[in-house]
Amino acid sequence: MATKILERKPLTLAERTYLPQIAAGLWVTFRKMFGRRVTLEYPEQKPPIPRGYRGVPTLVKDPNGREKCVSCQLCEFVCPPKAIRITPGEIPADSATAHVEKAPKDFELNMLRCIYCGLCEEACPERAIVLQNVYSLNAATREEVVLHKDKLYELGGTLPDKIMKWDKKKAAADKAAGGHH
């Protein structure tokens, strides 16, 4: 097998001193120095959030202040990095929402693992998980970015939707119970 030797063309004086590359770099610098400012003074100035942005997943309550999550654990199963861990809990029989089978005893979301894919929001049949427009979640320790149920509800707040399914089911159950008497 024959080896092929390639000849290099000799460098010019300008190429050997890198002067054209330095001049090109300085030209870019001067254009940026005297051009339009693009730096924002964060956190006073924040960039606009694009449509469809997927931010921090949070839990939301219904307009009556009730938990929407029923511990179905679909979000936990669909989460690729396993950032969600739900501990299901029972609802007491004497509760006003006793007709709902379960509620989360604990809902843990590890933001160090979350990849902001949005699959948890898509999988939730109750619309209890909503991706908020929060893009700055700061913490001093790792434990602070493992969000528990109370913090997730604090971040999520109340979702003003028109779905009052617990009321409808309860009303239908009461109507059916009243019709049998």
Which 8-state DSSP code applies to residue 36? -
Q: Write down the mean pLDDT value for the chain.
A: 84
Those residues with Cβ within 8 angstroms of residue 1's Cβ, 6 or more apart along the chain or in another chain:
none
Structure-token match 């379960």, residue found = 102
**pLDDT, tens digit (0-9, with 9 covering 90-100), for 91-149:** 777 777 666 668 889 999 999 999 999 999 999 998 899 998 877 778 899 999 999 99
Full set of structural domains in the chain with CATH: 57-175 (3.30.70.3270)
**Residue of higher predicted confidence among 8 and 2:** 8
Give the Cα separation of 148 and 69 in Å (integer).
13
Residue 38, pLDDT score: 78
Of 47-51, 54-58, 104-108, 118-122, the range with the lowest mean pLDDT is 47-51
**pLDDT, tens digit (0-9, with 9 covering 90-100), for 150-166:** 999 999 888 777 665 55
CB-CB contact of 111 with 126 (8 Å): no
Instruction: Report the predicted TM-score, pTM, of the whole model to 2 decimal places.
Output: 0.66
Length of the chain: 181
Pairing of strands 146-147, 102-110: antiparallel
Residue 167, pLDDT score: 61
Strands, E assignment, 33-124: 57-59, 84-90, 102-110
Bond into 43 cis (ω within 30) = yes
